[in-house]
Structure 1
């Protein structure tokens, strides 16, 4: 198994410690989801904002600089070719409609997971 390059590991760690407001808010909602999600996961030569290894679900948050981004299209295609499901949300959507974003993520996790009840605690 190929080891993760040290520079990607350190970049992922730096991104975790310097999360955007949208990433921080979403993580507060996602960190209790089962199966477990993680932040800033290195997959090949990409760092995913959030990911569920069990479901092969990648969750990406995008700011305005990503509008029509060619590299994002290439990244999504790369991940999908390897069996990942990729969800993309605008930062604005996370900040203005966190409930809708979390519901979309939970619905995707429940379709992709063998976990008996993927949900947030207290939501059944």
Structure 2
């Protein structure tokens, strides 16, 4: 067995690069991400622990609640141009057992209560599913 977390040196470098990028993103969140984070951090939704800018494989999720397998993406206008990439990324994350929710920046900034209502409903549903 390898003494390293990953099988080959290239994989270790990629993981290190992903973690560094996640740290950079944590320090430079968008206004929409900051607002949502202020409402979900510290177990504010059903006592569930959320993390921000979470490396999951080769991807970095904006937010994740790992115990129930929920990934939250907050998308800006640039995501219109990369819909195919986002769809493929969502498919990979879902194939790993995650549920992916996407919100537009303007949804978060203009209707945070509506976004939180969707999150609460989804979290409760996933908690029920994970128990039984």
Structure 1 length-normalised TM: 0.87
Alignment pair present for 1:73 and 2:78: no
Q: Which residue of 2 aligns with 1:63?
A: 76
Which ranges of structure 2 fall in alignment gaps of 5 or more residues?
7-11
**How far apart in 1 are the matches of 2:55 and 2:29?**
16
**How far apart in 2 are the matches of 1:113 and 1:37?**
14
CA RMSD of aligned residues (A): 1.5
**How far apart in 2 are the matches of 1:105 and 1:49?**
14
Q: CA deviation at 1:7?
A: 1.0
* Partner SS for 1:113: helix
* Partner SS for 1:19: coil
Q: Which residue of 2 aligns with 1:42?
A: 55
Q: Which residue of 1 aligns with 2:20?
A: 10
**Which is further off, 60-69 or 6-15?**
60-69
Q: CA deviation at 1:26?
A: 0.3
**How far apart in 1 are the matches of 2:53 and 2:127?**
20
Q: Which residue of 1 aligns with 2:118?
A: 104
**How far apart in 2 are the matches of 1:45 and 1:5?**
7
Q: Which residue of 2 aligns with 1:117?
A: none
**How far apart in 2 are the matches of 1:12 and 1:49?**
9
Q: CA deviation at 1:18?
A: 0.3
Which structure: larger Rg? 2
Q: Which has the higher contact order (CA 8 A, sep 6+)?
A: 1
Which ranges of structure 1 fall in alignment gaps of 5 or more residues?
115-124
Structure 2 length-normalised TM: 0.82
Equivalent residue pairs, number = 114
